[in-house]
Amino acid sequence: MNPDRCFGGSLLVLIGMFTNVLGAFIGINIGTDVSSMPSASEVVSIIKTHRITHVRLYDADSHMLKALADSGIEVTVGVTNEEVLGIGESASAAAAWVNKNVASYVPSTNITAIAVGSEVLTSIPHAAPILVTAMNNLHKALVASNLNFQVKVSSPQSLDIIPELFPPSTAAFNSSPNSTLYQLLQFLNNTNSYFMLNAYPYYGYTNGNGIFPIDYALFKPLPSVKQIVDPNTLFHYNSMFDAMVDATYYSMDALNFSGIPIVVTETGWPWQGGPNEPDATVENAGTFINYLIRRVSNDSGPPSRPNIPINTYIYELFNEDKRPGPVSEKNWGVLYTNGTAVFPLSLSGSSQIMGNATTVFCVAKDDASEGKLQDGLNWACGQGQANCSVIQSGQPCYLPNNTKNHASYAYNDYYQRMHTVGATCDFGGTATITSNDPSYRSCIFTGSSNSSAREGLLPPGAFGPVSPLGESMKLLVSKVRYVISAACLLIILL
């Protein structure tokens, strides 16, 4: 057996093993009806700061897709409601859409799904008869581009397609076996895709006329006497969110589709409302979002599907203040456009809370020139004696592989060790202090107290001699090859 071929094949096996053990994810929707929308690169920087691994775009904005390149973030791109009819009427239009908005960006941009329209069956019912045709046309275009295994096609739907949500066990779609929805489920089943569901306990509660307690909508623990029990299954529902997801599973069961998983493409809670919207408060929004993250992160499903995690996208990243409608419609964002959190927040599901930050970091400026950043990076890794081993190939902070990212880590490492003796965060004018944690995934930046974030007396004025970032990680690669060689031997013996 060719060792290199075995190395590659075994690596894929190992990647598959690690992928299978990854837990449920929390993603976020990025709307653009924002009067002061940050640039695409700034949005991606904010996303990475908060360690968000999945995003959903409502369109296929080229600036965002380019900015997301090499970030590793999984991206769902959207076909707008205005585009659905054209794509449904023309296979060539679908192929052109895929070529322009998907094929031209992968693999650099990690596009993994296409969301066809937004609540088409209820928001633009005149387009419903052509929805599944549009989905089929897009899927065929993905097949032609050999992307159908990487990119799934689905269509987010509102819970309005289920007339009665409680009890979940008796829920059923408002449709017949010959309906568009039935055809949609057939498509999802045939293509191994998933059902995209927009589920809002906020509306379930506010439109429920006091039937359910607000704690049930906010994921707060309920005393045993107030727990919600399905009388048919005797399943206990600790949250309206779980009941909504289960009602959708039972509705699919009623049409004999039991193997299609659900991904919640939208859920959230507004943090500000008008005089007639008393439940839209910062406290309620913070409670809902943080309990939601905790709920999804425990990797379990609703009572009827306990082993299927509920992957979920929060609605939304920023307030879309340009949207029409009541005050609450404009106030669903969990972050301000400068990247700070509206309420204490841990989007990654970790114990780190993103609120009024008490730590600061030294990072490269967005507008710094490539040449000056390289000089600063060389100085930090050389004369500055920053720990630059973690920005080597294969290490946690190597990707994204660009000068700005590497410089930020090196600058911060130097600053955190030396600022107490007077060093500054300057590096020839290419660095700045921030309270936004730039850590992402397993690349962890050390922070320091705000009280220490003062300008010191020893700026690194003239950079020292240019020095390499370090030797290649030969020892690490050697160890990895040894492990995989052992795996190859095991495969051969088996």
Write the DSSP assignment of 176-213 as a string of letters: -TTSHHHHHHHHHHHTT--EEEE--HHHHHHTTTTSS-
Catalytic residue numbers read 119, 266
The total of other beta-carbon atoms located within 10 Å of residue 160's CB is 13
For residue 212, pLDDT over 60 is answered with: yes
pLDDT value of residue 176: 65
pLDDT value of residue 15: 29
pLDDT value of residue 349: 52
Assigned CATH for 24-333: 3.20.20.80
Mean pLDDT of 279-294: 94
List, for residues 169-198, the tens digit of each pLDDT value: 999 998 765 689 999 999 999 999 999 999
For residue 455, pLDDT over 60 is answered with: no
Q: How confident is the model at residue 357 (pLDDT cuts 50, 70, 90)?
A: very low
Q: Report the alpha-carbon distance of residue 432 to residue 156 in Å, rounded.
A: 41
Residues 438, 443, 448, 454, CA torsion sign:
negative
E-state strands within 396-473: 431-434, 448-449
pLDDT, greater one: 428 or 6: 428
Mean pLDDT of the chain: 83
List, for residues 387-426, the tens digit of each pLDDT value: 999 999 888 888 888 899 899 999 999 988 887 777 788 8
Q: How confident is the model at residue 448 (pLDDT cuts 50, 70, 90)?
A: low
pLDDT value of residue 174: 85
pLDDT value of residue 358: 52
For residue 2, pLDDT over 90 is answered with: no
List, in sequence order, every residue forming a beta bridge with 229; answer none if it has no partner.
Answer: 236
The least confident of 11-25, 29-43, 127-141, 356-370 is 11-25
Q: Which residues contact 271 (CB under 8 A, 6 or more apart)?
A: 280, 281, 282, 284, 285, 286, 331, 332, 342, 343
The values of phi and psi at residue 486, to 5°, are -65, -40
List, for residues 213-224, the tens digit of each pLDDT value: 999 999 998 887
pTM (whole model) above 0.85: no
Q: Report the alpha-carbon distance of residue 162 to residue 196 in Å, rounded.
A: 14
pLDDT value of residue 450: 45
pLDDT value of residue 177: 56
The values of phi and psi at residue 432, to 5°, are -150, 155
List, for residues 241-276, the tens digit of each pLDDT value: 999 999 999 999 999 999 999 999 999 999 999 999
Q: Where are the alpha helices (DSSP H) in 255-304?
A: 282-297
Rounded (5°) CA angle 354-359-365: 90
pLDDT value of residue 348: 60
Q: Report the alpha-carbon distance of residue 47 to residue 344 in Å, rounded.
A: 16
Q: Report the alpha-carbon distance of residue 123 to residue 157 in Å, rounded.
A: 9
Question: What are the residue ranges of CATH 3.20.20.80 in the chain?
Answer: 24-333
Q: In what order do the strands lie in the sheet with 195-198?
A: 152-154, 111-116, 74-79, 54-57, 26-30, 312-314, 262-267, 195-198, 157-158
- Which percentage of the chain shows pLDDT scores above 90? 62
List, for residues 11-64, the tens digit of each pLDDT value: 333 323 333 335 689 999 999 999 999 999 999 999 998 889 999 999 999 999
Mean pLDDT of 222-245: 91
